[in-house]
Structure 1
Amino acid sequence: MKNLVKLALVVGLAAVLAGCGVRSAYNNLDWLIMRWINNQVSLDSEQELAVRTALDEKLLWHCSSQLPQYVTFLRGVEKDVEADAIDVDALRRHGEQIAAFGRELGLRARPDVIAFLASLDDEQVASLRESFDERNEEIVAESIEVTAAERQANQVRGMERGMRRFAGRPSAVQRERLEQWASELKPTAETSLEQRLAWQSEFFELLDLRSDNGTFESRMAVLLEPGATWSAEFREKMEYNRERTLEAIADIHALSTPRQQRRLLSRLDSLASDFERLSCSG
């Protein structure tokens, strides 16, 4: 439930980037987001109106303020690809920019998220807890109750899907590098679940205080900060894995065929052009 509207927007944007028509998916973000929210908790009419109003405001802001920045960002990535300047430093810089976009989205959504959470009744909180528990069970099945080999294979498949989406099928040597990358990662599934459960425990404790507006708002704002409850051990593992991932992506890009590079440039150009058309800044 961290940043409900932020997460919902990300769900919609993920649908955009996953292969749906960009313009079609973006223009239906309000529907996608409301559907996602209603899968988490049933809203009464007053809550639905408040959420729709907040969504309209945030989507207008996103369309006018954020999409032009996405276009500039994608054009910058294009230039780096064309200049053969995709190395670890460039990838880190681009990753930090993407994270900044996410933080800005989260900050913009946070007041509405907190107001929405404060409006929940006991039955809705119980429903939300059930949704969390169901997802926790899925995570255990997908990430915990698997062997190390299965986990590594899943990680390779996940990276392959992303590569195919933007650059096409990986070559044999690129897949070898992916397998090396997966073998180098520090395992985080168990620690990640522990962090998730700790965050959820504090989240529901705070929901019990939602009638105390001042305390609830200030403490929930802190909890909604990304990584607010991460332990030092988990943070170190995540940073280590991030660096290994950047190195692997840089190596895989260096192994790209001319066809893969052309496809990547075409995909970046297509996304930038679609976001440019969707922008309502002008």
Structure 2
Amino acid sequence: MLMRALARILFLALSLGLAACTRVDLAYRNLDVIVPWTLGDYLDMNRDQKGWFNDRLKEHLRWHCATQLPENLAWLDKVTQMVASNQVTDEQLQARTAEAKQAIGEVAREITPSAVELLQGLDDQQVRAMQQSFSDDLRKRRAEFVQPPLSQQISDRSKRMQKRLLPWFGTLSDNQVQRVNAWSLALNDQYKQWIDNREHWQGLFLDALQHRHDADFGQRIAHLLQQRESLWTPQYKASFAQTEAATRQLLIGLIADSSPAQRQQIEQKLAELRQDFAELKCMQAVKQAG
């Protein structure tokens, strides 16, 4: 949970635009607000827990800035080189994705002890409130993503992707729009598989919380945070693999159809993203210390 929030900030540029954010420095400065997305939405922390969390968060941010952000910059450089040299291939995209997953795994391992300590301190009322929040979350997501007719799900998914791509490509050409529509159609009922799997993971997490005072609780949380893919439902594993492959092909096709102006815009956005990371205050402190 906490790892997911951190990862969301660390890899905003994954796959050239699947996450749309233009001011990483602002997001990072407010990470104390963004990181507790599960804690604020699903858990009502008491004053002591909030104080402990804020102190521990600062430690994790210092670790991340010193050890991970330089690698993030190098990763962005590789992505930029792919675009500049017209080498946006399936092989290259798989390599960048694997590197991103590895980095996310490092974050998961780093924050696991803190997550375990926080969760062990929850009282029964907090656990019940989290369970209710999970249930509310799933209900809202199913209403938004699954309950509409499949044709509408496909249309909405295409519109969301086009919106995410806009800051990177500008106005898409007719061919590019057709590619996005075909991509969305190919994913079929992917939303259902995603939310079903989310419910499955949350169930495992809540079950672990019922045993938070057991000796093996830390191992169970470590498994849930660090080996999430091993806990996916078979349906979601297949759906995720298909989604990844289809999205790589979409990006390859979009770049192939891109105009010189669009490629220039992509490179400019990547340069701005890199600059945002490089100019973070914590990065300046790391450079000075070095």
Q: Corresponding residue for 1:217? A: 218
The CA deviation at 1:208 is: 1.2
What secondary structure does 2:139 align onto? helix
Which of 55, 58, 74 is the equivalent residue of 1:56? Answer: 58
State, as a whole percentage, how many aligned pairs show the same letter: 24
| 1:22/1:271 contact within 8 Å kept | yes
Work out whether residues 23 and 273 of structure 2, in 8 Å CA contact, stay in contact via their aligned partners in 1. Answer: no
- Residues 65-110 of structure 1 show CA distances to partners (whole Å, capped at 9, x for unaligned) of 1111111111111111111111111111111122222111111111
| CA deviation after TM superposition for structure 1 residue 196, in Å | 2.2
Match of 2:221, as an amino acid?
A: M
Residue in 2 that maps onto 1:85: 87
Partner Cα distance (1:203, 1:25) in 2: 27
Q: Is the 8 A contact 1:68 1:281 kept in 2?
A: no
| Larger displacement relative to structure 2 (27-36 or 240-249) | 27-36
CA–CA separation in structure 2 for the residues paired with 1:8 and 1:249: 25
Q: Within 1, Cα distance between the matches of 2:38 and 2:200?
A: 24
Question: 8 Å contact 1:117–1:207 — kept in the other structure?
Answer: yes
- Once residues 148 and 35 of structure 1 are traced to their aligned partners in structure 2, the CA distance between those partners, rounded to angstroms, is 29
TM-score (norm 2): 0.88
Q: Are 2:268 and 1:271 equivalent residues in the alignment? A: no
Work out whether 1:121 is the aligned partner of 2:119. Answer: no
- Cα deviation for residue 206 of structure 1 reads 1.5
Greater shift, 202-211 or 223-232, is seen at 223-232
Q: Which residue of 2 aligns with 1:183?
A: 185
TM-align CA RMSD: 2.1
Shift of 1:49: 2.0
Instruction: Give the CA deviation at 1:14.
Output: 7.9
Contact kept? 2:200, 2:233, Cα under 8 Å: no
**In 2, distance between residues paired with 1:140 and 1:35?**
19
In the alignment, what sits opposite 1:7? 4
Aligned to 2:103: 101
TM-score, normalising length: structure 1:
0.91
Contact 2:22/2:273, CA 8 A, preserved across alignment: no
The CA distance in 1 between the partners of 2:20 and 2:246, in whole Å, is 24
Cα distance, 1:150 vs structure 2: 0.9
Q: How many residues align?
A: 278
Deviation at 1:246, TM superposition (A): 0.7
Unaligned 5+ runs, structure 2: 14-18
Indicate whether 1:160 and 2:162 are aligned: yes
Q: Partners of 2:26 and 2:99 in 1: how far apart?
A: 25
Correspondent of 2:234 among 232, 235, 250: 232
Amino acid at match of 1:216: F
Q: Following the alignment from structure 1 to structure 2, what is the Cα–Cα distance between the partners of residues 188 and 34? A: 27
